[in-house]
């Protein structure tokens, strides 16, 4: 069987979902405005709110209201729910990204 090399870069894909990108951005800036977070992830403010709601309900993200702004705290002990990642703590995942320069 021969494989054809794919050279069209429009066929790209992402390793992480919008949830993963949101968590990484929150880890870098816990005081980020919703609109800036949405822009960084490449989605709308409304989509960010719909992503954060279940993450807050599961305890991975805690949102504290400070004046007119939000501060996001991530639970470093949170274990991912998918069986493939179920032994990985959120804090370890974030630290791995930091160690890679991400």
**What are the residues whose beta carbons fall under 8 Å from the beta carbon of 59, sequence distance 6 or more?**
75, 78
Residue 10: enclosing H or E segment and its boundaries?
A: none
Condensed to tens digits (0 to 9), the pLDDT of residues 18-45 reads: 999 999 999 999 999 999 999 999 999 9
Condensed to tens digits (0 to 9), the pLDDT of residues 42-98 reads: 999 999 999 999 999 999 999 999 998 999 999 999 999 899 999 999 999 999 999
| Segments making up each domain of the chain, as ranges | 9-72
CB contact at 8 A, 87 and 77: no
- Structure tokens given for 77: 């002990």
> What CATH number belongs to 9-72?
1.10.10.10
Q: What is the pLDDT of residue 10?
A: 58
- Structure tokens given for 47: 């989509």
């Amino acid at each position: 069987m021969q494989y054809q090399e794919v050279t069209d870069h429009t066929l790209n894909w992402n390793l992480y979902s919008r949830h993963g990108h949101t968590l990484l951005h929150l880890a870098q800036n816990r005081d980020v405005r919703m609109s800036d977070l949405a822009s960084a992830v490449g989605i709308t403010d409304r989509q960010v709110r719909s992503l954060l709601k279940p993450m807050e309900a599961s305890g991975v993200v805690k949102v504290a209201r400070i004046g007119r702004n939000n501060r996001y705290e991530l639970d470093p002990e949170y274990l991912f729910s998918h069986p493939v990642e179920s032994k990985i703590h959120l804090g370890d995942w974030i630290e791995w990204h930091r160690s890679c320069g991400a």
